Amino acid sequence: MKKIHRLPPPDCLDNQKQAHKKNKFYEVLRDNNGKIKPRWNTACKEGGDISKIRKTLLEMSNQTCVYCGDKIYNTNMDVDHYLPSSKFPYLAYCWNNLLPSCLKFYQYWLTEKKEGRIDRI
């Protein structure tokens, strides 16, 4: 895994800047049954700019996949959760849990998971 220097979070994922609307923030994370939505970009739905998250991740990795080192662009990029959002739903919205990776890695991970060969936690 490539070491990256983490930049400050975009405003929509900045806990301090979002503190004033914290209750609303967590409201947005839940579906109609009260279950947490495992989608990181939901956090930016309200007035946030989702593309800023991707842009900042690309910038801090110098446009390379943290897993394989391949060059990535906005079009072939995946936002990976280091700790899976299925097991740690609150970390789905944690800036420090988001990593830029290529779609190749994502496809590999999906296949390995589907075939039961991977369980990172």
Binding footprint of Zn ion on the chain (CB under 5 A) = 65, 67-68, 70, 102, 105
Q: How far is the CB of 10 from Zn ion (least distance, A)?
A: 22
Instruction: Say how many Å lie between the first and final Cα of the chain, rounded.
Output: 17
Distance, CA of 60 to CA of 2 (rounded, Å): 11
Q: How far is the CB of 101 from Zn ion (least distance, A)?
A: 5
Nearer to Zn ion by Cβ, of 60 and 68: the residue is 68
DSSP assignment of 85-121: TTT-GGGGG-GGGEEEEEHHHHHHHHHHHHTT-----
Nearer to Zn ion by Cβ, of 11 and 70: the residue is 70
Q: How far is the CB of 76 from Zn ion (least distance, A)?
A: 9
Q: How far is the CB of 114 from Zn ion (least distance, A)?
A: 18
Residue 50, SS3?
helix
Nearer to Zn ion by Cβ, of 67 and 93: the residue is 67
When CB distances to Zn ion are compared, the closest residue is 65
Nearer to Zn ion by Cβ, of 67 and 95: the residue is 67
